[in-house]
Structure 1
Amino acid sequence: MYNQSSKRKGRDGMIIPKNIEELASYAEKGKNVFFFTAGWCGDCNFIKPQMPEIEAEFPQFQFIQVDRDDYIDVAAEWNIFGIPSFVVLNDGEELGRLVNKNRKTKNEIAEFLQRVEG
């Protein structure tokens, strides 16, 4: 089982899974926001600097950064056909998704997460 104390975080504080098993453990347990991104994605790089503020505004979620290129099979399985995209799971059950190829704003992401929270 994945050791929670070994969480690897990126510079922006998001958890970055080390492998597919670790990614799967987050998908199965907890209330998590999966942020699908890629280094070459201009719209992803636009929103990334704002993610720490979004994370601070929604402490009830863990934020998981998923590099679409590293996990292309997962992206396909989850129907992630545009990035940046966000998928929220609670103990394996999908609560909502913000998946399209458009640039996302901080307000748009916050409104999405508020809707998911109910």
Structure 2
Amino acid sequence: MEIIHGTEATFKTEVLDSDKPVLVDFWATWCGPCKMIAPILEKVAASTDEIKVVKIDVDENPNIAEKYNVMSIPTLILFKGGKEEAKQVGFVNEPALRKFAGLE
């Protein structure tokens, strides 16, 4: 499944109302660790239809980042049934990301 670039306008539809678990990546263009995790997220997203992966640029969507207490990036939040299930702050490798997302 392709990565979705979410916004404040699409967050409810893409994340909260999703019938699948959603892995949200809070990131910014200037963030080095965000650039490091991006290809891992792309690989995971392309390898499964079990979850959706949504990227939220914190500079363009500060209200969502604030609502979910994103203080450092990258921050990954796993949503299930519209609720925050788990949060991971900082870079993780692919096996750790797959386990966090419930794919292992």
Task: Give the TM-score of the pair, scaled to structure 1.
Answer: 0.74
Structure 2 equivalent of residue 16 of structure 1:
5
Structure 1 equivalent of residue 81 of structure 2:
91
One-letter code aligned to 1:22: T
Query: How much has 1:79 moved relative to structure 2?
Result: 0.8
Structure number with greater CO (CA < 8 Å, separation at least 6) is: 2
Q: How does 1:23-102 map to 2 (within 5 A)?
A: 23-30=11-18, 31-98=21-88, 100=89, 102=90
Max radius of gyration: which structure? 1
**SS in structure 2 opposite 1:47?**
helix
- Deviant stretches of 4+, over 4 Å: none
The count of aligned residue pairs is 101
Query: How much has 1:67 moved relative to structure 2?
Result: 0.4
TM-align CA RMSD: 1.9
Which structure carries more helix by proportion?
Answer: 1
CA distance in 1, matches of 2:45, 2:15: 18
Which structure carries more strand by proportion?
Answer: 2
| Partner of residue 108 from structure 1, selected from 90, 96, 101 | 96
Is residue 33–residue 61 contact of structure 1 (8 Å, CA) maintained in 2?
A: yes
Structure 1 residues 45 and 95: CA distance shift in structure 2, 3 A: same
Q: Identify unmatched segments of 5+ residues in structure 2.
A: none
